[in-house]
Chain A
C-alpha cells in the first residue's frame, strides 16, 4: 500500500537515483564529470546516504546507481547501500573501472560476495582513458566473473564520440583475444562527456537548428522528455535531475528531503521547458530575455547545450525551487 507521502510524489517521472559515493578514483580521466582522481577523498556520509535511500524508496524509484569516482574504493559503504537497496526490493547497479580485477579468481571472489548481498547489475567503463591505467585483462577478469555468476545485467560503457575511435577495437580485443562472449553483454555507446572535454575533444559539432531536429542526426537522444528521468546525488548532497552535473542542481538532500525538493518541480518553468521541448526552447528563451547567445553556436549534443546553459553562473539555480 502506498503511503500518503508516496501518493503526493507520484507525479514525478524519475525512475533511477544514482549516488556519487566518492570522488576518489585510481584514475584521473580528462572527461570525468566530477574531476575524480587518486588524491581526492570526498566521500558521501554513510549515515546520510542510507537515510536518503528511505526517501528514494518512498518515491517508488526502483533503480539505485552506485558510482563515483571508484565505488570499490569505498567497499563498506557500497556494501551497505547494496544490502539496504536489496532489502527494499530495489535494483542496485554498480559502475566501476574494474581496476580491482587483478585476477579472475579475485574478481570472482569479490563479485560473489557482492552478489550475496544483492548486487546483480554491473557496469564497466571502457575507453582510452580508463585503459591507460586499467589493462583490458582486468576488465576481462571482471566480465568473466560476472558472467560466471550469472549477473542479470552486465554493461560495457564506452564512447565512440568525443573520444578516439578505439571503442569498437577494444570490444574486438575483448571478444577475439580475451574470449569474452559479448553477446551476453550490453554495449553502451555513451554520448556525453564533461564540459572541458567538449571544448577540447568533441569531434562533431552541429549548428543549433540542426541539433534541434535531432531525429535526422542519428544521435541517441531523439526527443524532448527522454531526458530528466534520473536523479543524481553528488558527494556533497547536491541533487541533479540528470545523470550528470552539467545541468542546474535542484537542491541539497542533506538540507531538505528529496520529496520536498522535487515536489513542485513541474511548476518550475525552466524544468518544464526542458522536459517538454528539450534545452533548445530554453536556450531561445534565454537568448530573448537575457541577451545570451546560445542559438548561434555549435554543439556536439543536447547535453552539451544543456551544460553550456547551466555552467553560466547566473543560470546555475534556475531549477532550484527557491
Chain B
C-alpha cells in the first residue's frame, strides 16, 4: 500500500541501512503491505538512488514556484510572478 511504501522510503532516505535490512529480509518485508509494483521499485533502486530522486523532486517542486509564470488557480499564480 502507498502509505507503507512511503513510510519505508521516508525512513530509507535518511537511513539507507535500515531500508536495505528490510528489503533483503523476507520476513520483515512481509510486515509491510506492498504491491508487486512497489516491491519492484524498492528492489530496483538502491537507497542512495532513492535519496537522490526524492531530493531532486523536492528541489524541482520548490523551484517551480519561482520559475513558472503560467496561470494557475487556487493560490499559485500571483505569488510566482517575478
Q: Which residues of A contact B (CB under 8 A)?
A: 15-16, 18, 63, 65, 67, 91, 93, 95, 123, 131, 135-136, 153, 155, 157-158, 160, 166-173, 175-178, 182, 186-192, 220-222, 226-230, 242-244, 303
Query: Chain A residues with Cβ under 8 A from B76's Cβ?
Result: 155, 157, 188, 190-191, 220, 243
Contact of B74 among A18, A167, A176 (CB under 8 A): A18
* Shortest CB distance B56–A (Å): 9
Q: Counting CB contacts under 8 A, is B77 at the interface?
A: yes
Once the chains bind, are A177 and B5 in contact (CB under 8 Å)? yes
Q: Which of B24-54 contact A (CB under 8 A)?
A: 35, 37-38, 41, 45, 50, 53-54
Q: Do A67 and B74 contact each other (CB < 8 Å), given the known contacts A176-B45, A191-B79, A220-B79?
A: yes
Contact check, A65 vs B73: say whether CB atoms are below 8 A apart: yes
Check A192/B65 contact, CB under 8 A, given A169-B10, A175-B57: no
Contact call B57/A189, Cβ cutoff below 8 A: no
In the complex with contacts A187-B61, A187-B64, A189-B64, A173-B74 CB distance below 8 A? no
Would you call B73 and A243 a contact (CB within 8 A)?
yes
Residues from chain B with Cβ under 8 Å of A15 in the complex: 71, 77
Residue of A nearest to B50 (CB): A172
Asked if residues A168 and B58 are in contact (CB atoms below 8 Å), the reply is yes
CA distance A175 to B50 in the complex (A): 12
Query: What are 12 A-B interface contacts by the 8 Å CB criterion?
Result: A65-B74, A91-B71, A158-B61, A169-B6, A177-B38, A186-B64, A186-B68, A186-B70, A187-B57, A188-B65, A222-B82, A244-B74
- 10 further interface pairs, Cβ-Cβ under 8 Å (given A67-B73, A160-B61): A18-B74, A168-B61, A172-B53, A187-B61, A188-B72, A190-B76, A191-B76, A230-B73, A230-B77, A243-B78
Q: Tell me the count of chain B residues lying within 8 A, CB to CB, of chain A.
A: 35
Q: Could you say which of A95, A153, A157, A226 contacts B78, with CB atoms under 8 Å apart?
A: A226
- Interface of A, helix, strand, loop or mixed by DSSP: mixed
> Do A220 and B74 touch (CB < 8 A)?
no
Minimum Cβ distance to chain B for residue A153 (Å):
6
What's the minimum C-beta distance from B37 to chain A, rounded to whole angstroms? 5
- Contact A227 B71, CB 8 Å, known A172-B57, A188-B65, A189-B62: no
Residue pair B77, A153 in contact (C-beta under 8 Å):
no
Least CB separation from B40: chain A residue: A177
Contact A229:B64 (CB < 8 A) given known A67-B73, A157-B72, A176-B45: no
B16 CB, min distance to chain A CBs, angstroms: 15
Whether B23 is near chain A, meaning CB under 8 Å from some CB there, is no
Q: Which residue of A lies closest to B53 (CB)?
A: A172
Most buried by A among B57, B76, B78: B78
Chain A residues with Cβ below 8 Å from B70 are: 153, 186
Across the interface, A191 reaches (CB within 8 A) one of B9, B75, B81, namely B75
